[in-house]
Amino acid sequence: MNEKIRQTVSYLESNGIKDPEIGIVLGTGLGKMVNLISIDQEINYEVIPNFEKSTVEFHSGKLISGTLGGKKVLAMQGRLHYYEGYSMQQITFPIRVMKAMGIKFLLLSNAAGAINPDYRKGSLMLVSDHINLLPENPLRGKNDESQGPRFPDMSCPYSQDLNKRLLVIAAKENIVLHSGVYASVQGPNLETRAEYRLLKVVGADAVGMSTVPEVIVANHIGLPCSAISVITDECDPEHLKPVDINDIIAVAGEAEKDLVRIYTKLIETL
Ligand code: HPA
């Protein structure tokens, strides 16, 4: 794995991407944040050695390097999902590459359904903890000790320092930022009513199909991270309406400006 990481890093460096400080992963419908980045380089995943390309048409699949909030950032516009058929190692490879490039913090985002009945669509949830319901784990297989330990601690998978700052920023900006537990499922289908009931019983506040693999790898490699879910639908099993992916994308696009404001302000303080 180290050899592949070196290959990818050397390709990116030879394309002028040097010393990024912060990595950003933009989830479904959340790509517009890149409009605020003053862009130096923009590279499609398919031309980056060892990167897989996004197979979902509305996930754009570009690595963007530039400046945001006075810091050098490396942003993934569109991520890879397990449901696309990639292995967990493939979907988390970019996180290892960003760390090897030098990022000190990882800021993730995703679109998620609300299990907590107090959450309204269009609001934001800071992920305080997660429940991994994906059928696979990116750390399965022989451990590479140079990357991290065999049994990474997960007692505090999200940076308390970053999360505290994000809550303070949201309050100052008058943006509702819930704190809650994110459950990751495989997808690509949405959940049945019975599954939404189950997720509530096990303690999830929101559900989505991503983020947790990247967070597991970030913890493996000792990279402090935060994640914010944009609540795109309300999963009340007793009043469930059919969920349309186009609605999810539209709601994410609307709420994105709050997410962008919070993350940009955070980046200014790092
Ligand atoms: N379930 C799973 N993933 C999602 C949802 C949902 O309700 N909304 C957005 N992503």
Model pLDDT for residues 37-53, shown as the tens digit of each residue: 999 999 999 999 999 88
Using a 10 angstrom Cβ sphere, with 0-12 exposed, 13-18 middle and 19 or more buried, the burial of residue 239 is exposed
| pLDDT score recorded for residue 33 | 85
* pLDDT tens sequence across 42-90: 999 999 999 988 776 665 789 999 999 999 999 999 899 999 999 999 9
Largest CA distance in the chain: 55
For a mutational test of ligand 1's pocket, the pick from 209, 229, 231, i.e. the residue with the most ligand atoms closer than 8 A to its C-beta, is 209
79 alpha carbon – ligand 1 mean position (Å): 15
| Residue 113 beta carbon below 6 angstroms from any ligand 1 atom | yes
Domains of the chain by range and CATH?
Answer: 2-269 (3.40.50.1580)
Peptide linkage before 224 cis (omega within 30 of 0): no
| Residue 65 beta carbon below 6 angstroms from any ligand 1 atom | no
For the chain, which residues score pLDDT lower than 50? none
| pLDDT score recorded for residue 57 | 60
Using a 10 angstrom Cβ sphere, with 0-12 exposed, 13-18 middle and 19 or more buried, the burial of residue 167 is middle
114 alpha carbon – ligand 1 mean position (Å): 8
Rounded to 5°, angle at Cα 32 from 29 and 36: 160
For a mutational test of ligand 1's pocket, the pick from 190, 199, 246, i.e. the residue with the most ligand atoms closer than 8 A to its C-beta, is 190
Residue nearest to atom 10 of ligand 1 (CA): 112
